[in-house]
Amino acid sequence: MPELPEVETIACGLRPQLTGRRIVSVAVRNEGTVQGDAAAFARCVPGRVIAGVGRRGKLLLLELVPLDGAAGRADAAGPAGVAVDAPSDVPPDAADLMTCRDAAGKMAGSSATGAAGASGNTGNTGNTVSTGSAGGNRVPHLLGVHLKMTGRLFVYGPEVAPNTHTRVIFGLDDGNRLFFDDARKFGYVRALSEADLATWDFWRSLGPEPLEIAAPDFAALFRGRRGRIKALLLDQTVIAGIGNIYADESLFRASIRPDAQAGELSPDRLRVLHGHLVDVLRESIAECGSSIRDYRDAHGDAGAFQNRFRVYGRSGQPCVACGRALTTGKVAGRTTVFCEHCQKLK
C-alpha cells in the first residue's frame, strides 16, 4: 500500500495537472469503488473546480469549489483563468519539503487529530445534494481517494480508452480525463462536505502528521503506552501515514528494535526516532517514493527509494552497519526486518 511519501509524490505530481480544472463529468464504472451513494456522487461532483490537491495520512485529497467561487479567488491564476491556491508545481526535496496538504487543511480545519472544525454546508444551496450520509443535504468540498494496494490516479488525453481496471473516470474541462484504476478493487473515492468530515470516523481518528509534529510532542504520543513501538507506528490513530517500509527503516536508523515496548523507551530515544523518521520520509519523497510492485507516481514513473533500503526486504543479508545477517520477525502481523546487534530493546 502506498505510504505517506508515495501519496505525497502523487499529490505533487497531480497538482499542476488538475489545479484549476473543472470536472465536467463523472462515470462510475464500479459502484463498490465509491463510498456512499454512487448515483449521488455522480450528480454532485460534476461542475465543481479542483482548487487544490493535498494529502492527509495516506489519503489523497482534491479540494472542490463551485465555479463562481473559484473565479473569485485571487491567490494565483490557474489554467483557464481560474484563480486557485497552491499554484506551485515545484516538487519537494529532502532539504525543503513542500507539503501538498495546504488546501485540505484549510477546508477541513484539520488539527493533529484530523477532526474537522465545522459542520453543515457552506451556503452554496444551488449545489447541495444528499450524499446518503447522516445530516441531510451537503455540499462536497473535498474528494478523498484512498489508493489501498493497487489504486492509481492518472490524467490521460481524450484519445486514451479506459481499461478493465478503470473504476471511475472524471472528465475535465480541457478534454483530458482523470482515471482511477484499481486492479484489486480495495481502493475507494469519496465526496466529502465539512459535515461529512466531522462525522467520518476514519478522518476523525487520524493521528498527527509525522512531518508536522514536533519531536517532544512525538515522544509524548508513546508515553505510558503499552504495545510494541512498530505496532504503534503502524497505527494510523497514533501517527498518520506510516506503513511497513518507513517504520522498519526509521527504527533501524534510530537503533530501536521494532518489538521494543514503546512505553519503556526514553523520551530522548523517541525524539531521536522522530528525527530519523522525518529524514527517511523526506529522503523518500525526494526519490518519488518506493516502488516494490504496483506503485507509480502521477506520471507513471517508478520511485527510487527502494534502492536505499537498509533493512526492509533485506532479510538474511548483511547489515549495512555491522555486517551480521539481518533478522526477520512479525510485529502487528507484518513482516519485520531488523538487526539484532544494532537495534536494542531499551
Lowest mean pLDDT among 111-120, 209-218, 234-243: 111-120
Q: What is the pLDDT of residue 140?
A: 83
* Catalytic residue, candidates 22, 55, 58, 138: 58
Three-state DSSP string of 67-110: HHHHHCCCCCECHHHCECCCCCCCCCCCCCCCCCCHHHHHHHCC
Confirm if 185 and 34 have CB atoms less than 8 A apart.
no
Q: Are strands 188-192 and 142-146 parallel, antiparallel or unpaired?
A: antiparallel
Rounded CA separation 53/70 (Å): 14
Q: What is the pLDDT of residue 260?
A: 97
Looking at every residue in the chain, the average pLDDT score rounds to: 79
Task: Note if 3 is an active site residue.
Answer: yes
Task: Note if 344 is an active site residue.
Answer: no
Query: pTM for this one?
Result: 0.78
Question: Above pLDDT 90, what percent of the chain?
Answer: 59
Domains along the sequence of the chain with CATH:
4-205 (3.20.190.10), 215-338 (1.10.8.50)
* Catalytic residue, candidates 225, 310, 334, 340: 334
* Grid coordinates belonging to 306: 527502494
* Catalytic residue, candidates 2, 79, 92, 140: 2
Task: Note if 2 is an active site residue.
Answer: yes
Which 3 state secondary structure label does DSSP give 331?
strand
Burial of 330 from C-beta contacts in 10 A (0-12 / 13-18 / 19+): exposed
Confirm if 139 and 128 have CB atoms less than 8 A apart.
yes
Q: For residue range 314-325, what is the model confidence (pLDDT) as tens digits? A: 999 999 999 999
Q: Give the number of other Cβ atoms within 10 Å of residue 81's Cβ.
A: 9
Q: Are strands 177-182 and 166-172 parallel, antiparallel or unpaired?
A: antiparallel
Q: What is the pLDDT of residue 196?
A: 83
Instruction: Read off the pLDDT band of 184 (50, 70, 90).
Output: very high
Residue 241 above 90 pLDDT? yes
Residue 117 above 90 pLDDT? no
| DSSP track, 99-168 | -S-HHHHHHHT--TT---S--S--S-GGG-EE-SSTTSEE---EEEEE-TTTEEEEEE-TTPPP-TTEEE
Instruction: Read off the pLDDT band of 201 (50, 70, 90).
Output: very high
Q: What is the pLDDT of residue 123?
A: 30
- Please give the helix or strand (H or E) that residue 198 lies within, else none: helix 194-199
Q: For residue range 254-279, what is the model confidence (pLDDT) as tens digits? A: 999 999 999 999 999 999 999 999 99
Q: What is the mean pLDDT of residues 70-84?
A: 40
Q: Give the number of other Cβ atoms within 10 Å of residue 127's Cβ.
A: 20
User: Amino acid letter at 84?
Assistant: V
Q: What is the mean pLDDT of residues 132-151?
A: 73
Rounded CA separation 218/223 (Å): 9
Residue 83 above 90 pLDDT? no
* Angle separating helix axes 267-286 and 4-18, nearest 10 degrees: 40
The more confidently predicted of residues 71 and 32 is: 32
Torsion of CA 203, 180, 290, 204, to 10 degrees: 0
| DSSP track, 276-316 | HHHHHHHHHHHTT---SSS---TTSPPP-GGGG-SSTT-TT
Task: Note if 106 is an active site residue.
Answer: no
Residue 179 above 50 pLDDT? yes
Instruction: Read off the pLDDT band of 41 (50, 70, 90).
Output: confident
